[in-house]
Amino acid sequence: MPSTVRQTPNQPKRVLSDVEKASISKKRMAALEKRVEVLMRESVTFKREYEREVVSLKEKERLAERKRTAMERNLATLMVQNAGLRDTLRTQQEQLQWFRADIAGREASRQCMLCLQAYNSDVLPKTLRCGHSCCAECIVQITVEHRNKSYAVCAECRGWNLVSTLAGFPTSISMMPGNIPPRPPHLQL
């Protein structure tokens, strides 16, 4: 077996004995064992950190899943509320259209449906038996004779209304502009 030579810069080459070789081997072995111990401790530390990271990631995944589920529930709730709001909005729009039509009808009912003159103290609104109104002058124009009786034919519904010579048709005071109540505040458009 060849002998190992250890060199130093100022000394001549020297051959190591077997005892020295064994001592050097033991020292190297001890250093390697220490290094292995350090590496084992580091690997245990890294393993623990890795396990913590895995647990942390799993917790984050569970938390993200809970948040996603909660957001899906909130979205479903919002969709139901949105549908309800759409229905409410549609109903309110229909009511608004009806109120506008009603207001237009009220404005139209303040004038004679035939001559379109506004009702006032000179042009009195008369209500026919069918419920429609027109002025007294127009009633004379729409009156027809049939079997010795006079009938006023309504221009709106074409109903025949018997004209009583004694009483005629009642005057609708409520249709006079001064007697029509103002619109309620919630109907002001």
Q: What is the pLDDT of residues 153-188, one digit of tens each?
A: 888 888 888 777 655 677 766 666 555 556 666 655
Residues 158 and 128: their CA atoms lie apart, in Å, by 11
Q: Would residue 143 count as lying in a domain? A: yes
Measured CA to CA, the distance from residue 186 to residue 189 in angstroms comes to 8
Per-residue pLDDT band for 37 (boundaries 50, 70, 90) equals very high
pLDDT range class, residue 65, cuts 50, 70, 90 = very high
Q: What is the pLDDT of residue 67?
A: 93
Is the same domain home to 97 and 117?
no
Q: Quick check: 26 pLDDT over 70?
A: yes
Kindly state whether residues 41 and 117 are assigned to the same domain.
no
Question: Quick one: CA torsion of 99, 104, 109, 110, rounded to 10 degrees?
Answer: 110
Which amino acid makes up residue 179?
Answer: N
Number of H helices and number of E strands within the chain?
A: 2, 7
33: confidence class by pLDDT, cuts 50, 70, 90: very high
Query: Is 117 found in the same domain as 45?
Result: no
**Total domains in the fold of the chain:** 2
Residues 24 and 65 in one domain: yes
Q: Are residue 97 and residue 116 in the same domain, yes or no?
A: no
Residue 138 lies in a domain: yes
The residue from 78, 101, 124 where one domain ends is 101
| CA nearest neighbour of 141 among 131, 151, 133, 132 | 151
- Whether 33 and 62 map to the same domain: the answer is yes
Mean pLDDT computed over every residue of the chain = 80
**The pLDDT of residue 137 is above 70:** yes
Mean pLDDT of 70-91: 90
Q: How confident is the model at residue 71 (pLDDT cuts 50, 70, 90)?
A: very high
**pLDDT value at 41 more than 60:** yes
Q: Pick the residue with more confidence: 14 or 63?
A: 63
User: Which of the listed residues 76, 101, 126 is the one where a domain comes to its end?
Assistant: 101
Task: Answer whether residue 55 is part of any domain.
Answer: yes
Whether residue 7 is contained in a domain is answered as: no
Residue 72's pLDDT is 93
Which residues span the domain enclosing 65? 17-101
**Per-residue pLDDT at 177:** 59
Q: Please name the helix (run of DSSP H) or strand (run of DSSP E) that holds residue 108, with its range, or none.
A: helix 18-108
Residue found by looking up tokens 């619109």 in the block: 183
- Asked if residue 116 and residue 95 are part of one domain, the reply reads no
User: Which of 71, 101, 131 finishes a domain?
Assistant: 101
> In the predicted model, what is the mean pLDDT of residues 116-126?
81
